[in-house]
Each structure stands twice: as structure tokens, then as C-alpha cells.
């Protein structure tokens, strides 16, 4: 291909030479005609003939001069075309030199046209003004405005001042090391590049100025498609490699870190993170007989029900009357987390609200609102709550909270049954890590202790029927357990990018390290018999967080008090952490029951409080442990002192959804 183009270009030169010969002949014929006219004619005819011959000769000489000028310009452009065609092919062939081809273009052309002599002899001639304009216009047509900001390279390639590019000027830009890069400048093998790449990196910006970024990646292909280039005729082109490896290296950015700066909780054991955890440390149970409705006909009549709750100061009365309780819990816990995080009205005004988001989910959504709508529909659709549809959807809680706060960042909900909260927490943290948000409210909320909710779980035989002694009904890992106990409430964490939190002087409770999701892909409600999905989830969470198994010394387990689930999780934990003698495991559900979609967030609050206080709460009702359970690992009926290094919190849900998240004490010494 190269030989064909060179032969074609040589033919172009030959055609130009033949054309010059023909023009010379015509000029001589004009002079002969003039002489003949003077010889034959006389008088007026003779004078007129001589005058016409003289004019014809002068015009012929002027045309010849213009043709010579155009030929010189064409020769210069043609030489450039031949070089650049050859250069384009060699750029693709020599991958090692590809990052440098834009810079080497000028140097190589200078070598091909005039030779690098080692002095300051210009390598270009002084093309005419009209030629420079034509060439510059053609270059701009091919490359856009990319040539405009070029310095020396632009002056040379676009037909700038004479002598603007020379070997000496290259040395001036690139330093004395330029002399050792001769092979690179002629596009031979270039071992010097691999030995001294910094020479090129330092030289390119100075030589090209800001124009280096202006070249368009399609310039080379555009030039190849140009009809004159295919025909071998002179045409000015600009070469930019398809692989844009010559771009400036991206500056290393500091990894973003996520910290917890606020917490909000609504639970059977209190509506404040401190009082909630104090009750947990005391081993107090929040499980009692259901009072919200008549459940005498149900085999299960106990739950972790919230007895007293007020939305005063948190939710507008006009909404509080019509909203489902899951949404009331969500809004209250969310605003509590904002307040706990020190985001006052003044701080709120300074926040970039486009980078503040909310991701709070629910497993069951607005069940009561939906149930009421069905009841009203039996009479007439006119009796239905006009907000029954939006207030029943799981995403509306996050949306309503965003409306109250004015936060315009990422906003949605996730529903993965009882693993919902952890999915939301990890997803919210990822928005911060990716730079899409600086602040995120995340967690979960559920309020399913209503006839349809209780009846549904009774129907699938999942609930404990220890009605005579509600406080002992939830008993994870105990051999006498007979099912889980329903609970209700909400938990919300205020997650924040570390530097953002420090800049506003926020109190940092803990650092979020990472987490993972997996799926058992086994059964709709039963866990995998070997705990394969749970083990995989924990291992992936450790890998994602850069944490070793021996670094984790506390696990807040999912442990719901079911026959199958408790032991499968325990066995998976032992397979991962068997070599860790410091490991402690407990279950928050032994005291508050299973809060469904809110469980993970409420237990995350308990986990962070354990990190803050140095105390892990007991697992109550563990009176007759399963024989596989090591009570040196599982925390029994008394709280224990523990200096937590890394804490793991698990949540699993119907459908085989598994989730694990990791928290650790915030340590300023770990900052780089």
C-alpha cells in the first residue's frame, strides 16, 4: 500500500513536470508569434501584432511564475502528504510509539523534508501567503479548531512562519536528551522510549501547547477517505492515532470513604438510639401481647408491637391521618437521623441538595392503607382514600422525606424481603463512593402487625405460638425455639462522605467498610441446607471491604429463632471465622422480634452502638443451646465487654436474598 501511494505520488510529480514543459513551449510559441508578426506586418498591423505578441509573452511569463509558485507550494504539501501517509501507517504498526505519534509527527516530517542536521537550519521553506491560507483552511476543515491553540507544531503544519520548526528548536523544548532519541524521530524501533518515557511526557505539553487535546480522533480516517489522498495527489492531513494513549494521565484521586454521622430508630424498645441500646444491654424484651387489633382467633397473638408513638414535630397532621404506619415510622426515623447528624437549618442551607439522597426501603409497604382500600371498595370506590395507591407503594416514603428536606439526589427504595435494609445501606454507600452523592439517608421501615400481615405469616407456619410467655418467645439458637416473632419499626442511618463530614464538623459514629449481596437460588422460603449462599455473601463482603476474617470480632447475626435458619447461618459463620478466637455473635431479634424490612437497619444501629460503647448486648432466652452452638462464641444472657475491630451485620430474606455489611471504628490514623 505504501509503495502504491508513493508511486502514485511520484506520478503526480511527473505530471507536474510535464505540465511545466508544456507551459514553457507555449511561452516560446508566443514569442515566436510576436517575432513573426513584426517580420511580416507593417504599419499599423505590424505594430498591433507586436503589441499583442508582447502582451501574450508577458501573460505567459506571469502564468509561468504563478505555476512555479504553486508547484513549490504543492511540492511542500506533497512532501508533507507523503510523510504523513507513511507516518499514519507506521503509527498503526508501531504500538510502542503510538502514544507519541502526535508529537513525533512534526519531528518526523522535519526529518523527511529537510533532515535533522543538529543545527537551527529551518526545515521548511517560506510558502506564499495564499498557500498558507489554503493549507490552514484545509487543516481546519479536517481537524476542526484543534489546530488553533497549537504552538510550534501548529505554525509548521498549518504553514506558519518560516523556520518555525528545526532540530535546534526541538532540543530547546525537549532538552539535551533529545539527541539520544534519533531512532524514535525516524520511526524506527524506539527502545529509548521504553527506557526514558518521561522525556516524551515532559516534552509534549511544551511543544504542542494546549492544542494536543484538540485533535479529533477521526482525523486519520477522514484523511484516508479524501479522494485526493486516494489518488496520490498532494493534500495536507493531520494525523491522530485511533488509540488515544497520548492523553495526559489521569491524576490519582483520593479514595472516597463513607462514615455514619447520624442514626434514627423507631422500635419496640425505644425511639432514640441511646435509650434503645440501653434497653438492649439490659436484656429487656419488647415483645408482648398484640393490642392493636383483636387477634383472639389467631394461633399467634404476640409481637414486638410499638405501644406508644407520636409524630408530633415530625410529620404534618394532614398526612399523619392518612399515611400508613410504615411511612410514619420512616419519616420520623429519617428526620431523627438528620437531627442526630447535626444537620441544622443553617447547615441544611449550605448543603448541595443535588448530592443529598434517600434510599429507604420496605418489605411489605403500606399494607394497612391497602387493606383499608379493599374494605372501602366493598361499599364504593368513592369511600376509598384518594392517596391509597401512593401511600401503599414502598418508594413513597423516600419520596415524601425528600419533599420535606428538599434533597434532590438519588432517591428510590429497594424491597428484598427481610434483607431490604442492608441492600439499601450498601447501595446508598455505593452512591457516595462513586461520587454521585455526598450524603445519603438509608435504611428500612415496616409495619405489618395487622390482621392480614399476622395471618399471612401464621398461614406459612413461620411464627412462634408461645403466647403464654411472650418475652421468652423469641429464642435464637435455643433448642426449644418454635418460630420467629413479628416486630415493627424503622431504622435510618445518615451516611456521609468522610471529607464532607469533617468539613462541616460532624460527629462520626463509625465507618462503613462495605458489604455484599448474594442469592441462594434454592427455595422461596427455606435457606440453603449447606448455607452456601450465606457463606458466599460473607466472603464477598470481606473481599469487597478489604477485611481479613481474623479482623472481624463481632457479628450481629440475622438469627430469627427459626428451626432451619439459625443453624445454617451459624455454620456458615464458623466456616468463615473458625480460626478467630475473639469472635462474638449475638442476636438483637431475641428482644425486639423480627422487624422484616426494617430489621437490618435497626440492627445496624445496634451494631454501631456496640462499636461506640464497647459493649455487646446479650442474646436472651438462650437457655438450652443447640449442641452445635459454642457458647464461648455466642453471647448469652449477659452483656459482654468487647473492643470491636470490625463488625459484621447479616440480613437474609425470603427468596434466598442474602446481605452482609461491615462497620468499624473510625480511625483518623488510617487516612492517607
| Residue 670, C-alpha cell as written in the block | 488510617
State what percent of residues in the chain have pLDDT above 90.
58
| Domain-embedded: residue 380 | no
Asked if residue 265 and residue 212 are part of one domain, the reply reads no
Last residue of a domain, which of 231, 266, 281? 231
**Which of the pair, 644 or 179, is modelled with greater confidence?**
644
| Domain-embedded: residue 244 | no
| Domain-embedded: residue 388 | no
pLDDT band for 150, please (50, 70, 90 cuts): very low
Q: 52 pLDDT exceeds 70?
A: no
| Domain-embedded: residue 199 | yes
pLDDT given for residue 332 in this prediction = 98
Which residues are CB-neighbours of 140 under 8 A, at least 6 positions away?
147, 148
pLDDT given for residue 667 in this prediction = 87
pLDDT given for residue 235 in this prediction = 40
Asked if residue 163 and residue 121 are part of one domain, the reply reads yes
Catalytic (active site) residue 657:
no
| Domain-embedded: residue 202 | yes
Asked if residue 124 and residue 210 are part of one domain, the reply reads yes
Find the range with the poorest average confidence among 97-106, 306-315, 380-389: 97-106
pLDDT given for residue 604 in this prediction = 98
Find the range with the poorest average confidence among 63-67, 268-272, 354-358, 485-489: 63-67
Asked if residue 304 and residue 206 are part of one domain, the reply reads no
184-190's contacts with Cβ under 8 Å and 24+ in sequence apart are 184/97, 184/100, 184/104, 185/104, 185/107, 185/108, 185/111, 185/116, 186/108, 186/111, 187/87, 187/90, 187/94, 187/97, 187/104, 187/108, 189/94, 189/96, 190/94, 190/96, 190/97
Mean pLDDT for 185-198 is 48
Find the range with the poorest average confidence among 201-205, 360-364, 630-634, 667-671: 201-205
Domain around 64 = 2-231
Q: Which of 271, 431, 500, 594 is catalytic?
A: 594
pLDDT band for 239, please (50, 70, 90 cuts): very low
Asked if residue 276 and residue 214 are part of one domain, the reply reads no
The number of residues making up the chain comes to 672
Mean pLDDT for 482-486 is 97
Asked if residue 155 and residue 266 are part of one domain, the reply reads no
Mean pLDDT for 562-588 is 94
Mean pLDDT of the chain: 78
Catalytic (active site) residue 544:
no
| Domain-embedded: residue 251 | no
Asked if residue 640 and residue 525 are part of one domain, the reply reads yes
| Residue 375, C-alpha cell as written in the block | 374494605
**Which of the pair, 141 or 256, is modelled with greater confidence?**
256
| Domain-embedded: residue 666 | no
Q: Which of 500, 558, 617, 657 is catalytic?
A: 558
| Residue 621, C-alpha cell as written in the block | 432466652
Catalytic (active site) residue 558:
yes
pLDDT given for residue 459 in this prediction = 96
| Residue 20, C-alpha cell as written in the block | 511545466
State what percent of residues in the chain have pLDDT above 70.
62
pLDDT given for residue 579 in this prediction = 84
Asked if residue 210 and residue 274 are part of one domain, the reply reads no
Asked if residue 309 and residue 203 are part of one domain, the reply reads no
Asked if residue 570 and residue 421 are part of one domain, the reply reads yes
Which residues are CB-neighbours of 281 under 8 A, at least 6 positions away?
613, 615, 617, 618, 639
Asked if residue 217 and residue 128 are part of one domain, the reply reads yes
Q: 390 pLDDT exceeds 80?
A: yes
- Cα of 285 vs its chain's centroid, Å: 43
CATH of the domain at 592: 3.40.47.10
Residue 284 backbone dihedrals phi, psi, to 5 degrees: -80, 140
pLDDT given for residue 251 in this prediction = 54
The number of distinct structural domains making up the chain is: 2
Q: Please, where are the H alpha helices in 444-497?
A: 451-459
Q: Which of 418, 431, 500, 617 is catalytic?
A: 418
Cα–Cα distance measured from residue 666 to residue 658, given in angstroms and rounded to the nearest whole number: 26
Residue 663 DSSP code: E
| Domain-embedded: residue 147 | yes
Q: pLDDT for 434-461, tens place per residue? A: 999 999 999 999 999 999 999 999 999 9
Cα–Cα distance measured from residue 166 to residue 116, given in angstroms and rounded to the nearest whole number: 8
Find the range with the poorest average confidence among 116-125, 532-541, 575-584, 593-602: 116-125
Asked if residue 306 and residue 206 are part of one domain, the reply reads no
Ramachandran assignment for 187, one of left (phi > 0), alpha (psi -120 to 50 degrees), beta (any other): left
Amino acid at each position: 500500500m505504501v509503495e502504491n501511494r508513493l508511486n502514485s505520488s511520484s506520478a503526480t510529480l511527473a505530471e507536474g513536470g510535464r505540465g511545466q514543459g508544456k507551459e514553457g513551449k507555449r511561452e516560446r510559441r508566443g514569442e515566436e508569434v510576436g517575432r513573426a508578426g513584426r517580420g511580416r506586418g507593417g504599419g499599423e498591423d505590424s505594430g498591433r501584432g507586436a503589441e499583442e505578441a508582447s502582451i501574450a509573452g508577458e501573460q505567459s511569463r506571469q502564468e509561468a511564475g504563478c505555476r512555479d509558485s504553486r508547484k513549490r507550494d504543492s511540492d511542500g504539501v506533497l512532501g508533507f502528504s507523503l510523510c504523513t501517509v507513511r507516518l499514519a501507517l507506521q503509527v498503526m504498526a508501531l504500538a510502542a510509539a503510538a502514544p507519541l505519534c502526535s508529537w513525533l509527527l512534526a519531528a518526523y516530517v522535519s526529518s523527511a523534508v529537510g533532515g535533522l542536521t543538529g543545527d537551527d537550519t529551518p526545515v521548511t521553506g517560506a510558502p506564499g501567503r495564499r498557500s498558507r491560507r489554503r493549507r490552514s483552511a484545509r487543516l481546519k476543515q479536517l481537524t476542526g479548531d484543534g489546530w488553533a491553540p497549537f504552538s510550534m507544531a501548529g505554525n509548521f503544519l498549518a504553514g506558519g512562519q518560516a523556520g518555525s520548526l528545526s532540530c535546534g528548536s526541538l532540543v530547546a523544548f525537549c532538552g539535551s536528551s533529545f539527541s539520544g532519541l534519533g531512532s524514535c524521530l525516524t520511526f524506527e524501533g524506539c527502545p529509548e522510549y521504553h527506557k526514558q518515557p518521561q522525556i516524551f511526557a515532559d516534552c509534549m505539553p511544551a511543544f504542542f501547547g494546549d492544542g494536543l487535546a484538540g485533535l479529533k480522533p477521526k482525523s486519520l480516517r477522514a484523511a484516508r477517505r479524501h479522494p485526493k489522498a486516494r489518488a496520490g495527489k498532494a493534500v495536507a492531513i493531520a494525523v491522530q492515532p485511533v488509540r488515544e494513549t497520548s492523553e495526559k494521565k489521569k491524576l490519582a484521586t483520593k479514595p472516597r470513604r463513607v462514615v455514619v454521622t447520624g442514626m434514627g430508630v423507631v422500635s419496640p424498645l425505644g425511639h432514640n438510639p441511646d435509650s434503645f441500646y440501653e434497653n438492649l444491654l439490659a436484656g429487656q424484651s419488647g415483645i408482648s401481647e398484640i393490642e392493636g387489633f383483636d387477634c383472639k382467633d389467631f394461633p399467634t397473638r404476640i409481637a414486638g408491637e410499638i405501644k406508644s408513638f407520636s409524630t408530633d414535630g415530625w410529620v404534618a397532621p394532614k398526612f399523619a391521618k392518612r399515611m400508613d404506619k410504615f411511612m410514619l415510622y420512616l419519616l420520623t426515623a429519617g428526620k431523627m437521623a438528620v437531627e442526630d447528624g447535626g444537620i441544622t437549618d443553617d447547615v441544611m442551607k449550605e448543603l448541595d441538595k443535588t448530592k443529598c439522597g434517600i434510599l429507604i426501603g420496605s418489605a411489605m409497604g403500606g399494607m394497612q392503607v391497602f387493606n383499608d382500600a379493599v374494605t372501602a371498595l366493598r361499599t364504593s370506590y368513592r369511600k376509598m382514600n384518594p392517596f391509597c395507591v401512593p401511600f401503599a407503594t414502598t418508594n413513597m416514603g423516600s419520596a415524601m422525606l425528600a419533599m420535606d428536606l428538599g434533597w434532590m439526589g438519588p432517591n428510590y427504595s429497594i424491597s428484598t424481603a427481610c434483607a431490604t435494609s442492608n441492600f439499601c445501606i450498601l447501595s446508598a454507600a455505593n452512591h457516595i463512593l462513586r461520587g454521585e452523592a455526598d450524603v445519603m439517608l438509608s435504611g428500612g421501615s415496616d409495619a405489618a402487625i395487622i390482621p392480614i400481615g399476622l395471618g399471612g405469616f401464621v398461614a406459612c407456619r413461620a411464627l412462634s405460638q408461645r403466647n403464654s410467655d411472650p418475652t421468652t418467645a423469641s429464642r435464637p439458637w435455643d433448642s426449644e425455639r418454635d418460630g420467629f416473632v413479628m416486630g415493627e419499626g424503622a431504622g435510618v442511618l445518615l451516611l456521609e462522605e468522610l471529607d464532607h463530614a469533617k468539613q462541616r464538623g460532624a460527629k462520626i459514629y463509625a465507618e462503613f467498610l462495605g458489604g455484599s449481596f448474594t442469592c441462594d437460588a434454592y427455595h422461596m422460603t427455606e435457606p440453603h441446607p449447606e448455607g452456601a449462599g450465606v457463606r458466599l455473601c460473607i466472603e464477598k463482603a470481606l473481599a469487597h471491604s478489604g477485611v481479613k476474617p481474623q479482623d472481624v470480632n463481632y457479628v450481629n447475626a440475622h438469627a430469627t429463632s427459626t428451626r432451619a435458619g439459625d443453624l445454617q447461618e451459624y455454620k456458615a459463620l464458623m466456616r468463615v471465622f473458625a480460626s478467630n478466637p475473639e469472635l462474638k455473635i449475638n442476636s438483637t431479634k431475641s428482644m425486639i422480634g423480627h422487624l422484616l424490612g426494617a430489621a437490618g437497619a435497626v440492627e445496624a444501629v445496634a451494631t454501631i452502638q456496640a462499636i461506640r460503647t464497647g459493649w455487646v448486648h446479650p442474646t436472651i432466652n438462650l437457655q438450652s443451646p443447640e449442641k452445635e452452638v459454642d457458647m464461648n462464641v455466642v453471647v448469652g444472657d449477659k452483656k459482654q465487654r468487647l473492643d470491636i475491630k470490625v463488625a459484621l451485620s447479616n440480613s437474609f430474606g425470603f427468596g434466598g436474598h442474602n446481605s452482609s455489611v461491615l462497620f468499624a471504628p473510625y480511625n483518623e490514623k488510617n487516612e492517607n
